[in-house]
Amino acid sequence: MPGRSRSEEVNCPIVAIVGRSNSGKTTIVEKLIPELKSRGYRVAAIKHSHHSLKFDEPGKDSWRYAQAGSDAVAIASPDKVVLIKPNRGDLGIEQVARLLGDDYDIVLAEGFKQSKVPKIEVHRQEIGPLLSSLTNLIAIVTDEPLDTPVRQFSLDDIRGLADFLETTFLREAGR
């Protein structure tokens, strides 16, 4: 089915929010999460980073387990679980989503421009032109009208964008 992102290993739709640096991607995801949750959906978010991440500190138990040779370390408390799993190279969006499990109706991912999943580009005139060479672009969130056949939403139309996601990915899936 066109526009859908389904993997045999990921049991919910994944939509990537992409755009140039400082275009407002994080803000859009941050606003979409409570809007979709208010409609009863379970939402997971993934942030792609090009930088190395550091979570465990030398001397802490999790660090000691990793130093002892554990291939992965999970830290569990009554309110959170943190998984520290070294990887070689950048994981694909589906691989990261698989780590989240099947407890969600939709995964919103920031970044992953090169992935094959459906993408919504965040565009602001002052930041620069639209990204080129995006595949599977389903919508643009923008501060200016653009001459493109791709569906457009204003930066403030979070409800409309959530309606679009709901209609395109959630309702048709029977969620």
CATH number at residue 153: 3.40.50.300
DSSP 8-76: SS--S-EEEEEESTTSSHHHHHHHHHHHHHHTT--EEEEE--SS----PPTTSHHHHHHHTT-S-EEEE
Report how far Cα 162 is from the mean position of its chain's Cα atoms.
14
> Which two tokens mark 5?
């992102």
Beta bridge partners of 106: 43
Tell me which residue of 38, 46, 30 sits closest to 155, measured CA to CA: 30
Which residues are CB-neighbours of 50 under 8 A, at least 6 positions away?
none
Residue pair 52/68 in contact (Cβ under 8 Å)? The answer is: no
Q: What is the largest distance, in Å, between two alpha-carbon atoms of the chain?
A: 57
The answer to the question of residue 137 being in a domain is yes
What per-residue confidence (pLDDT) applies to 49? Answer: 67
> What is the H or E stretch that residue 93 is in?
helix 93-100
Domain that holds residue 38: 14-51+89-171
Instruction: Give residue for tokens 């309110």.
Output: 79
pTM: 0.83
Supply 55's token pair: 């979570």
Residue 73 in contact with residue 56, Cβ under 8 Å?
yes
- Which tokens hold the place of 137? 């672009």
Q: Is residue 143 part of a domain?
A: yes
Is 11 exposed, middle or buried, given 0-12, 13-18 or 19+ CB atoms closer than 10 A?
middle
pLDDT tens for the 175 residues of the chain, in order: 344 444 445 689 999 999 999 999 999 999 999 999 999 999 999 987 654 556 667 888 888 888 888 888 888 888 888 787 777 777 788 888 888 888 899 999 998 898 999 999 999 999 999 998 899 999 999 999 999 999 999 999 999 999 999 999 997 555 5
Q: Would 116 be classed as within a structural domain?
A: yes
Q: Look at the chain and report how many structural domains it folds into.
A: 1
**Is the residue at 30 inside a domain?**
yes
